[in-house]
Structure 1
Amino acid sequence: MESLLQLAIIWASVFIANIFAEKTRLTPVLFFLFMGALLVNTGILPQKTDEFIRVFAELGIIVIMFALGFEENTSDFLKSIKRSWGIALFGALAPFFTAYLIAGYFWENQNIAIMCGLAMTATAVSLTMVSLKSEGLHRSQAAKGIMTSAILDDVASLVFVAILVPIATGATMVSLPGIGLIVLKALLFFMVIAAVGMWILPERPNGMLSLIPGFGRHGVRHILSIGKGENTTLTVLTVAVLAGLLSHLFGFHAAVGAYMAGLILKEEYFQIVATPNINHYENTKKILDNVAFSWIGPVFFVVLGTHIVLEWDILVAVIPQTLVLAFALLVAQIASAGLAARYTAGFDYAQSVMVGIGMLGRAELAFVVMDIAYVQFGILNDEAFYTLMGTALILNIAVPVGIVLWKPYFSRSEEKQAREG
């Protein structure tokens, strides 16, 4: 019953957060994070997350990312990769070296500097995309650029983790075969997802699969048609979880696989002959949005906020380091990603700044790296750990606030392009 009590407390905090968000006109994500930090630091929620709540929160981020991918068009995503390579590259290098140099200056320890740089590299794409959705901007070209760049950053960050963590812990030296294995796994994962989308899901599977008796005549539309479309939500959620598990098997966060699963499910698959008057795609999308953004998804952000456990004596001592690092990363991230968006991706000024703001968040991978460096191996000292925690909090708050503040300029730019186009 303890787990259910914690879930009830979290849902009550989500309700309160939504009220504050409505009153202040800020995105609910900001208040979800705040409520998590408040609950854990007042002792209402334990510092060690209950296993049931942890899994529930993990399901939340899987459903969130699947719902976001479900709205996207596969061809648009592939085109966005060609456009967003510069944002991903420079948007990752700038924060890494900024954090590395500042941490090296403060603590004069190369291993601490490496881990600080690594923790501040990957973008919290889920935080940004939910913030954009709450402002009605998640279908914009800038949002697609952020999403694609952040996924590419996650892949690159996993390579960095594989290379730099063993170096910082002294466990091994750089190994070309080890690097090659990580890159191969990344390529293989995306090839598997692409193969599923191209050859297995269509109404009539393509390639060698079309030669298999029975299977070659039935694609995903036939599965969705079972029960006259009554099981569409169950089917797609199963696909989302399986894709998340596949992503985890390849060493990535489950959310990446869930997003890719949503991406390869096309609207035409939901055109069921037996019920031509029912829009099963829109009905499924409505249910997914409700699950993702109203009652399961928010649990992830509240639990994320519970990672911010404050010890006030250390916290006060590292205020200068936290402010310096957060400000430097804010400037470096917006400048690097924004300039890359402007000059390598062809976005206009307002869109480029929005891309830079959208790349500020730090969440899943940042906390994984902190856990490895502070809890498992003791590389980070207390001051460095709390500096990173405070910096991540500031950057996460900056995302929804920055999006809200920049939205008027961004919207005017979008309207101008729509008139001209």
Structure 2
Amino acid sequence: MHDIAILAVIWFSVFLASFMAHKTRLTPVLWYLFFGALLVNLQVLPEKMPIFITDFAELGIIIIMFALGFEEDTNNFLKSIKRSWGIALFGALAPFLVAYFIALFFWGDKNIALLCGLAMTATAVSLTMVSLKSEGLSQSSAATGIMTSAVLDDIASLAFVAILVPIATGEASVSLDGTLLIVGKAVVFFILVTIIGGWLFPTGSGMIKHIPLIGKVGLRNILAMGRGEYTILSLLLIAVLVGLLAHEFGFHPAVGAYMAGLIIQKEYFDFHQDKDIDFYHQAREIIDNVAFSWIGPVFFVTLGCQLIFELELFLSVLPEALMLFAGLFIGQVASASLAAKYTGSFDWPSSLMIGFGMLGRAELAFVVINIAYVQHKILSVEAFYTLMLTTFFLNCSVPLTIRWWKGKFQS
């Protein structure tokens, strides 16, 4: 089959998955994975994707992570940290430890256990917020707590992915020197991103405006080229370039793309005198459409194509998947709820809603699974299927528990 024909099949499956997600009110990611697995097992899609599709899928996850960072309001995020730090800390530590020790018990491999813990750490922000919005709860205090905590979880998880994945893959030693090297590279990378966001992008204001050449070129001027006609191109270029910078430091490009989105400020889009066009809102809509409707989903469909159906294998890992799901469900809800109550001063209904809202696992989990299983072959087939089934169960539980708790939450 021609590469373009494969892409056409994948895009058709994305269309069907989006339709099914709307009908079932489940996250489209689950349906992307389902159709990927279905089509590869029906031999409509090949088990080994051509390089064009794999590279296209890689671009998809870069844009997805950029979009997730881009949609965050950095100022609100920083203001909410004080109340949500405990939810983020304990709500991430508990699932990491649960997944790590259960995986270590099942397979006896510390690298597999480490990556299973990483995959199960970060909360799916988009899944939870879509579920809350569908129930009319997106503006509640619980939603704010979930959002900030989930973003903190994602940033911490991205940092741990950057530091621990090279160790797990054998690209860096477990020695003190090797660990310090990875930590040092991570620190340098995040310092560079901070410099880009704090001094390079806002050029044209402050002291830096007096520097020849550089002081004349700020991100606002670049985005304003041609009455904003090149805004999206500029943003995608930034996502890819910062992703490549992360790659040069030995990290996944998605790490850089997320940070690139986070440091882009709304005021950079305040250009021209035409008040009829909200360039920031327009850019957000287009980036989200690219990330979640036609390029990003290719990543999840191709990841689903890794699920070659074998009934015996599915039945063999089902007990492990159910045990991991039960452990993560209890650990996540208990840790996040208790932290919300005692470190964030939320009431009990809101605290439990936060606990339920942090159950989802999506983008970052699949990034880690893709790195560990597809790229580096660290995960065994059994571990891969266990994680995929567990993720499926956790994501299904988000809209179900939120809908169930809504009555008690609002009473």
Q: Within 5 A, what are the aligned runs for 1:162-241?
A: 162-164=166-168, 166=170, 174-202=174-202, 204-207=204-207, 209-241=208-240
Amino acid at match of 1:175: S
Stretches of structure 2 lacking an aligned partner (at least 5 in a row): none
Distance 1:259 1:104 in 2: 30
Aligned length: 399
| Contact in 1 for aligned 2:61/2:254 (Cα 8 Å) | yes
Q: Contact (CA 8 Å) 1:97, 1:117: kept in 2 or not?
A: no
- 1:6 positional shift: 1.0
Pairwise CA distance, 1:406: 3.0
Q: Does 149-158 or 51-60 show the bigger shift?
A: 149-158
Whole-Å separation in 2 of the counterparts to 1:162 and 1:206 = 39
Which residue matches 2:23?
A: 23
- The match for 1:349 among 348, 351, 376 is 351
Change (3 A) 1:344 1:156: farther
Once the two structures are TM-superposed, the CA of residue 392 in structure 1 deviates from its matched residue by 1.6
In structure 2, C-alpha distance between the alignment counterparts of 1:206 and 1:123, rounded to whole Å: 42
Counting only pairs closer than 5 Å after superposition, residues 73-222 of structure 1 correspond to structure 2 as 73-81=73-81, 83-106=83-106, 109=108, 112-123=109-120, 128-135=124-131, 136=133, 140-141=143-144, 142-164=146-168, 166=170, 174-202=174-202, 204-207=204-207, 209-222=208-221
Q: 1:369 aligns with which of 356, 367, 372?
A: 372
Aligned partner letter, 1:227 = G
Distance 1:152 1:201, change over 3 A: same
Q: CA deviation at 1:119?
A: 2.2
One-letter code aligned to 2:352: A
**Amino acid of the structure 2 residue aligned with 1:393:** M
SS of match in other structure, 1:9: helix
Single out whichever of 71-80 and 279-288 deviates more from structure 2: 71-80
Q: Distance between the aligned counterparts of 1:145 and 1:246, measured in 2?
A: 27
Instruction: Give, as a single letter, the amino acid of the residue that structure 2 aligns with 1:406.
Output: T
Counterpart selection for 1:391 from 377, 382, 386: 386
SS at the partner of 2:358? helix
**What corresponds to 2:291 in structure 1?**
292
CA displacement 1:187-229 (0-9 Å, x = unmatched): 222211111111111252444x333224324421112222122
> 2:225, 2:409 → 1: CA distance?
42
Please report the TM-score for the alignment, with normalisation by the length of structure 2.
0.85
Deviates more, 1:133-142 or 1:386-395: 133-142
User: Alpha carbons of 1:66 and 1:105: their partners in 2 closer, same or farther (altered >3 Å)?
Assistant: closer
Q: Which residue of structure 1 lines up, in the alignment, with residue 252 of structure 2? A: 253
Q: What are the Cα deviations for residues 273-321 of structure 1, in whole angstroms up to 9, with x where unaligned? A: 2534322112222211221221112112111212222333333333333
Q: Does the 8 Å contact 2:35/2:304 carry over to 1? A: yes
SS at match of 1:121: helix
In structure 2, do the counterparts of structure 1 residues 103 and 134 end up closer, same or farther at CA, with 3 Å as the change threshold? closer
Cα gap change, 1:413/1:175 in structure 2, threshold over 3 Å: closer, same or farther?
farther
* Alignment correspondent of 1:404: 399
Task: Deviation per CA, 1:11-58: give whole Å up to 9, x if none.
Answer: 111111122122222222211111111122222222222211111112
- Report what 1:419 is aligned to: none
From the superposition, tell whether residues 100 and 270 of structure 1 become closer, same or farther in structure 2 (CA, over 3 Å).
closer
Contact 1:203/1:217, CA 8 A, preserved across alignment:
yes
Shift of 1:87: 4.4
Q: CA deviation at 1:407?
A: 3.1
* Alpha-carbon distance in 1 for matches of 2:61, 2:345: 31
Equivalent residues in 2 for 1:59-70, closer than 5 Å = 59-70=59-70
Contact 1:116/1:388 (<8 A) preserved: no
Alpha carbons of structure 1 residues 206 and 49: separation in structure 2 relative to 1, 3 Å? farther
- 2:202 aligns to what SS in structure 1? coil
Q: For the residues of structure 2 that align with 1:327 and 1:303, how far apart are their CA atoms? A: 28
For residue 48 of structure 1, give the secondary structure of its aligned residue in structure 2: coil
Identity %: 43
Q: Deviations over 1:131-175 (max 9, x none)?
A: 235433788421231122122023224433344555xx9x95x42
Whether the 8 Å CA contact 2:270–2:279 is kept in 1: the answer is yes
Pair 306,328 (structure 1): closer, same or farther in 2 beyond 3 Å: same
- The residue identity in structure 2 corresponding to 1:363 is F
Cα distance per residue 1:235-286 (max 9 Å; x no partner): 1111111122122222332222222222222222112225343221122222
Decide which moves more: 311-320 or 289-298: 311-320
Distance 1:329 1:197 in 2: 36
* Residue identity in the other structure for 1:364: V
Change (3 A) 1:101 1:152: closer
C-alpha distance in structure 1 between counterparts of 2:344 and 2:282, whole Å: 35
* Cα root mean square deviation, aligned: 3.1
Question: One-letter code of the match for 2:194?
Answer: A
How has the CA–CA distance of structure 1 residues 330 and 310 changed in structure 2, closer, same or farther, with 3 Å as cutoff? Answer: farther
